[in-house]
Amino acid sequence: MINNLYLYCIAEGHVEINFGNIGINGQEVYSIVYEDLSAIVHDLIVEQEKVEGENLNECAMKHAQVVDVAWKKFGTILPLTFYTVIKGEEGIEPAQNLKNWMQDDYKNLKQKLAKVKGRAEYAIKIFLSTKTIGTLLIQNDPEIRMLHATIARSPKGLAYMYKQKLENLLKKKIEVEAEQYFNDFYKRVTGCVNAIKIEATKTVDSDKQMLMNLSCLVQKKDIIILGKELDVISNINGIVVRFTGPWAPYSFV
Amino acid sequence: MKPMKDRHATLVDLLDRMLDKGVVINADIIISIAGVPLIGVNLRAALASMETMVKYGVMQAWDEKIREDANKAELKKTEMLSS
């Protein structure tokens, strides 16, 4: 059995600390320091710990909790990706391997810490109800209204053809609306954040489309301003905003 | 609008970050355990199947069954009391 180190995050500051048994599977979490950096870890014996099945969810939650505790204590941290394990080798302790890496990567780590200092990550997902936008277009768009009226007074066969034409036109118009919304919302959000990443959108359901999926790095003082901008966006008919955080800056490290 | 951080309601946002992002060490000091890279995949699959279950009413059927059983028990109790 080889001892390894499970690494949660790299924190700014030279602080030797033991957080107690707050880690994954109740492991003891402590810091390993190099210069003015502290790595937050727990000892891991690979053969003993299994991260699989039902246990996974709990492990992920624990990982996030430890990162949050360290974040609160140190103020500025770089979270590691889930399940980063530093190995030990013949004659080299894992702690030494970790310190060597911190030494080699010191400049890079310091630059990243400076970038996220005093900032936190927030997730913004904006959804568009195609049903609501479609209904509004039917009510207000002259071209669509005209086609709609034509269907009403056309014989059955012709009406079917016009209906298909209407569906295509409506789809196109919804796409144009969505693009305009995207540009407008993006401008509003970028105005109050330090950095932004456009993430891939996901399928929600047939009536609701994810219009934007953003990760934003935000200064604490700007959260209220961002919240106000999101209020403006969410007040638009057919638009739903989901705003979560603060998260450790996973997307900006 | 204030940001939400309820652990359960925001689990997907958290996992999206933890599994795909964060500092990645590109050095040979990282252990590679068979199956570890699959953790993310497994976790997502578990979550997706839960969502699908809810969407397609598996949970609903289960909920209805529980209610039905409870109603039956209640009825039995009433019958016993009245007899």
Instruction: Based on the fold, state whether residues A47 and A135 are members of the same structural domain.
Output: no
Q: Which of A36, A194, A121 is nearest to B3 (CA)?
A: A121
ipTM: 0.78
Q: Are strands A119-129 and A77-86 parallel, antiparallel or unpaired?
A: unpaired
Encoding tokens for residue A176? 């144009």
- Tally of domains within chain A: 2
- Is A243 close to B1, i.e. CB distance below 8 A? yes
Choosing from A89, A117, A145, the residue where a domain stops is A117
Instruction: Based on the fold, state whether residues A133 and A204 are members of the same structural domain.
Output: yes
SS3 A185: helix
Separation CA B53–CA A247 (nearest Å)? 28
The answer to whether A78 touches A249, Cβ cutoff 8 Å, is yes
Instruction: Based on the fold, state whether residues A104 and A25 are members of the same structural domain.
Output: yes
- pLDDT, tens digit, 9 for 90 and up, residues A229-240: 999 999 999 999
**Segment 35-54 of chain B within 8 Å of chain A by CB:** 35-36, 39-40, 42-43, 46
**Residues in B touching A244 (Cβ below 8 Å):** 3-5, 10, 13
Query: What are the DSSP E strand ranges found in chain A?
Result: 3-12, 18-20, 29-34, 37-45, 77-86, 119-129, 195-198, 208-219, 239-247
Tokens 């080798």 -> residue:
A89
Give the rounded distance of the alpha carbon of A127 from its chain centre.
15
Residue A132 belongs to what domain range? 120-252
The answer to whether A60 touches A42, Cβ cutoff 8 Å, is no
Half-sphere exposure (CA, 13 Å, Cβ side) for A97? Answer: 22
- pLDDT, tens digit, 9 for 90 and up, residues A57-109: 788 889 999 999 999 999 999 999 888 888 887 788 999 999 999 999 999 99
Model pTM score = 0.79
Instruction: Based on the fold, state whether residues A203 and A183 are members of the same structural domain.
Output: yes
Instruction: Based on the fold, state whether residues A247 and A205 are members of the same structural domain.
Output: yes
Separation CA A55–CA B43 (nearest Å)? 10
User: Can you give the CATH number for the domain in which A193 is found?
Assistant: 3.30.70
Closest CB to B15: pick one of A10, A60, A79: A60
Cis peptide before B37 (omega within 30 of 0): no
Question: Residue B4 has what DSSP assignment?
Answer: B
> Tell me, what's the pLDDT at B50?
54
